[in-house]
Homo-oligomer: A and B are copies of this chain.
Amino acid sequence: MSRDGAELAELVDQARDGQPRAVARLISLVEADSPQLAELARLLGAVPDRAHVVGLTGAPGVGKSTSTSALIGALRSAGRRVGVLAIDPSSPFSGGALLGDRIRMTEHATDPGVFVRSMASRGQLGGLAAAAPQALRVLAAAGCDVVLLETVGVGQSEIEVVGLADTTVVLLAPGMGDGVQAAKAGVLEIADIFVVNKADTADAGTVSRQLRQLRAMAAPRSDWQPPILHTVATKAEGVAELVSAIGEHRDWLADSGELQRRRAARVRSEIEAIALATVRRRFHQLTGAPALDGLTDRVQAGELDPYAAAAELLAGLR
C-alpha cells in the first residue's frame, strides 16, 4: 500500500473512532473530488445503513440554520450522535460556504457528539449526487445516529437533496411573500414533514391553513400524511415535537418498506453519478480532433450541429 493509501487507511480508522479532525479531513477529500475517492470507498467498505438522514429545506430567511441548531440540541439531549452536512449551492461561484449561517451552530462546536461540515455542490452536473453519499458514509462510519442535511433555496440542489434524505422536512415561515404560492408546485411532493417556523409571529396561522388546503387538494403519495408542525426555533419551541415526528416517520419508513426503496434509489443515483463524472473527466482529457474546444468552434462556425458534435465527442472515447 502506498504511503498515501496508508495515511488514508489511518484517517478512516480515526474517523471510525469518532475523531472530529479525521471526519473533517475525509469530508474535505470528498468535497475536493480527490483521486483517492475510489480508495476511500473501498476502505469504508460496507457501512451499516444506521444513520437516519434528515433533509431540511426551505427558502432563505425561514430559519433553517436556527432550526438545524435547535434540532442538534434536542437530539443531543436524547443522547444521539449528530452529523450536519450543509449543502451550499452558491459556492461554485464563491468557493466558500455561507459561513455567517454556520456560525450560529458554533454553540455545538466543542461537543464531541456533533460533526458539522459545509459542502459545496460546485455547480457540477451531478457533483452533489456523486459526493454527498460518500460524505454521509463517512459520518455514518463515525457513529452518527442522525445526519441533518441542510440546503438553501429551491431548484436542482433541492431535488438532489431530497434524493439523499430518508426524511425531508420542508420549512416555511410567515411573511415570506409569495412563499407558499411559489413553493406550491414542488413542496407537496417532497415534504415528509412541514414546519411553520416563526410561529409566534402574525400570519403563522395563515401559512398553516394554506398548507392544509394544499395538502387536502394533493393526491396522496402514500399512507403517510405529512404533519404540519409549528416551531419557534430561536426559542427551541416545538422542536421536541419535530424530533418525535421525525422518529415516527423513520418508523413508518422501516415498516412500509419505503426506507429500503429510498436507499436503493440513493445508491442507484450514486453509482450513475460516479460513472457519469468519470465519462465527463474523459471528455476533458480528449485531445485532437474529437476534443471539446474544436467541436465548439465548428458548432459556432455553423459547420456542425450540437447533436452531431456530441456524437463525435462520444466516438472519440473509443
Contacts and interface: CB of A to CB of B under 8 A. Distances in A.
Interface in A269-296: 270-276, 278-280, 283, 292-293, 295-296
Interface residues of A, number: 89
A7 interface: no
Contacts of A271: 292, 295-296, 299, 306, 309-310, 313
Nearest to A185: B90
Interface stretch (A39-47, A69-77, A108-116): A39-47
B61 A176 contact: yes
- Interface residues of chain A: helix, strand, loop or mixed (majority): helix
Interface in A10-56: 37-38, 41-42, 44-46, 49
Nearest to A126: B125
A280 B151 CA distance: 26
Given A60-B183, A156-B156, A271-B295, 19 more contacts: A45-B302, A46-B303, A59-B153, A61-B177, A61-B178, A61-B179, A89-B186, A91-B185, A133-B306, A153-B158, A155-B156, A264-B297, A271-B309, A272-B310, A272-B313, A274-B306, A274-B309, A275-B283, A278-B310
